[in-house]
Amino acid sequence: DKAVTIPVNIMIEADHRVYDFSEVKEILSEAQRIVVQDCGCKTAYGNCDSPRDVCLGLDCDADYVLKNKGTHAKEITLDEALDVLRRSHEAGLVHMAYVMKGEEKPSLICSCCSCCCHTLGGLLRHGIHAQVLSSKYIAFDDEVKCIVCGTCISRCVFEARRMESDKLVYDASKCLGCGLCVTTCPTQAIAMRSRDHQ
């Protein structure tokens, strides 16, 4: 028997998408099977000390990862997956997934850093916005609650925040909606809002 490839001349569109914490939590809660493995980018490059065991395979990808013996791959419970998610979020990693156009739920989610991840690093170094889709949410600042401490500046991977003349400047056009700034704001001056209701 021989395997034959039949060209069908159909373009399959796919992109990397950023997800905020709540979106990933919902996706994980609907998965029937979850596997964690070491991130391939972090294993290959090792440019930082961020957690490596943050790549989550769901359902069909979970089966694939286990069958092909992914790096330190093991099946985990939903609670364990949520712990992986919290740990990576606290470390300032951006939750990303490779998604096919028209397919809402991803089956592989990784938590990425800009120094190891090809896609995230490419976006930040070369401005390749076409490769990364924003999440369904965007950060919104409450200027009354903001104490201009600058914590959100170092937390923002996408450089949407900066200090100018002792004022915090937020460029919403650069926000991809990862939500990392929200959880570290000491006065809860930042919240996530649906992009559809800006």
Residue 189: which CATH number?
3.30.70.20
Query: Residue 2: inside a domain, yes or no?
Result: no
Interacting residues of 30 by C-beta distance below 8 A, sequence separation 6+: 105
Rounded-to-integer distance, Cα 19 and Cα 14, Å:
15
Q: Of the candidates 99, 114, 133, which is a domain's last residue?
A: 133
Question: Is 1 within a domain?
Answer: no
Predicted local confidence at residue 97, as pLDDT = 87
Q: Is residue 2 predicted with pLDDT exceeding 50? A: no
Helix axes 78-90 and 21-30, enclosed angle (nearest 10): 160
Give φ, ψ of 129 to 5 degrees: -70, -25
For residue 5, tell me if it sits in a domain: no
pLDDT at 51: 93
Domain match, 40 and 112 both = yes
Q: State which of 105, 133, 161 marks the end of a domain.
A: 133
State yes or no: pLDDT of 69 exceeds 80: no
pLDDT digits (tens, 9 = 90+) for 150-174: 999 999 999 999 999 989 999 999 9
pLDDT of 3 over the 60 cut = no
Q: Which domain holds residue 92?
A: 14-133
Please determine, for residue 11, whether its predicted confidence score (pLDDT) is greater than 60.
no
Comparing 72-76, 101-105, 120-124, the range with the smallest average pLDDT is 101-105
**Which of 57, 152, 157 is closest to 97 using CA atoms?**
57
